[in-house]
């Protein structure tokens, strides 16, 4: 059974880059599926951020395109999120997810990591 | 503001039936795209509850059921249990925006 676990700093300063990692166990990232990130700001709904295939195809939220990138390290079975020039509006719980592109459904989620943007 | 509209909360006593609505538009649910539902219990990772409008993944009790009609979908929980107290989110695809993936704002189910 696949398990996803987020890790990274819980605090980021305004204008800096937020970086999170997701360790995947129980399933090889190269076997298929897309992998990605979803976030939930305090008091708001879920927001899709980005998802990516291990061979490079990437889809991201147009509202974040200029600031967001994702990378996959197949040797570590891990993927990462980078969000540049963060503001308080980027404060959220960030979830790493496995995404079934055919059904457009997120079938596995991490527990989530709270990142607060504050000076 | 979320692309899909859900009530902020619903409540019911143990054993009762509750339903959660998810209202979209002609560019997402109304365009025929499937709806999926997720459950997030306090302190736990979100879990896929219903996929493709009506299907339950292995291990999900049949107390949970989904339906879809027109530009709306619903999640029903029958025989409500204390462990069902959680946040529930609907999700679909939007072909009219470049967002692709859209979510509802979430509904808190309160077991009285």
Confidence of residue B97 (pLDDT cuts 50, 70, 90): low
DSSP result, A51-98: EE-TTS-EEE-TTTTTTEEEEEETTTTEEEEEE-S--GGG-EEEEEEE
Determine the pLDDT at residue B99. Answer: 62
Pairwise CA distance, residues A85 & A60, whole Å: 17
Provide the β-strand partners of residue B93.
B101
pLDDT digits (tens, 9 = 90+) for B44-89: 999 999 999 999 999 999 999 999 999 999 999 999 999 999 999 9
Q: Is the pLDDT of residue B23 over 80?
A: yes
| Region A14-39 average pLDDT | 96
How crowded is residue B28: how many other Cβ atoms within 10 Å of its Cβ?
A: 23
Q: Is the pLDDT of residue B14 over 90?
A: yes
Nearest CA in chain B to A103: B52
| Nearest CB partner across the interface for B45, out of A62, A103, A110 | A110
pLDDT digits (tens, 9 = 90+) for A34-93: 999 999 999 899 999 999 998 888 999 988 989 999 999 999 999 999 999 999 999 999
Residue A95 sits at the chain B interface (C-beta within 8 Å): yes
Confidence of residue A16 (pLDDT cuts 50, 70, 90): very high
Residue A33 sits at the chain B interface (C-beta within 8 Å): no
Query: How far B16 CA sits from the closest chain A CA (Å)?
Result: 27
The shares of helix, strand and coil residues in chain A, as percent rounded to the nearest 5, are 5, 50, 45
| Nearest CB partner across the interface for A103, out of B52, B89, B103 | B52
Residue B104 sits at the chain A interface (C-beta within 8 Å): yes
| Region A88-105 average pLDDT | 94
Pairwise CA distance, residues A29 & A51, whole Å: 13
Nearest CA in chain B to A60: B99
Q: What burial class does residue B32 get, using C-beta atoms within 10 Å of its C-beta: 0-12 exposed, 13-18 middle, 19+ buried?
A: exposed
Q: Is the pLDDT of residue B98 over 70?
A: no
Residues from chain B that touch A104, judged by Cβ atoms under 8 A, are 33-34, 36, 92-93, 100-101
Confidence of residue B96 (pLDDT cuts 50, 70, 90): confident
Residue A104 sits at the chain B interface (C-beta within 8 Å): yes
Q: Look over chain B and give the mean of its residue pLDDT values, rounded to a whole number.
A: 94
Query: How far A5 CA sits from the closest chain B CA (Å)?
Result: 10
Query: How far A115 CA sits from the closest chain B CA (Å)?
Result: 16
């Amino acid at each position: 059974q696949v398990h996803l676990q987020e890790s990274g700093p819980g605090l980021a300063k305004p204008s800096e880059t937020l970086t999170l990692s997701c360790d995947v166990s129980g399933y090889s990232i190269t076997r298929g599926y897309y992998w990605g990130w979803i976030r939930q700001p305090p008091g708001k709904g879920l927001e899709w951020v980005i998802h990516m295939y291990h061979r490079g195809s990437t889809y991201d939220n147009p509202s974040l395109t200029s600031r967001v990138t994702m990378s996959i390290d197949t040797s570590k079975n891990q993927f990462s999120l980078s969000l540049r020039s963060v503001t308080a509006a980027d404060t959220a719980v960030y979830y790493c997810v496995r995404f079934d592109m055919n059904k457009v459904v997120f079938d596995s989620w991490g527990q989530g990591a709270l990142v607060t943007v504050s000076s | 503001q979320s692309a899909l509209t859900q009530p902020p909360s619903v409540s019911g006593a143990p054993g009762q039936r509750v339903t959660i609505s998810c209202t979209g538009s002609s560019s997402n649910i109304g365009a025929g795209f499937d709806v999926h539902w997720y459950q997030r219990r306090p302190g736990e990772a979100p879990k896929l509850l219903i996929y493709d409008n009506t299907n339950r993944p292995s291990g999900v009790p049949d107390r949970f059921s989904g339906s879809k009609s027109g530009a709306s979908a619903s999640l029903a929980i029958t025989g409500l249990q204390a462990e069902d107290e959680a946040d529930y989110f609907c999700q679909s695809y939007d072909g009219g925006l470049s967002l692709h993936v859209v979510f509802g704002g979430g509904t808190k189910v309160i077991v009285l």
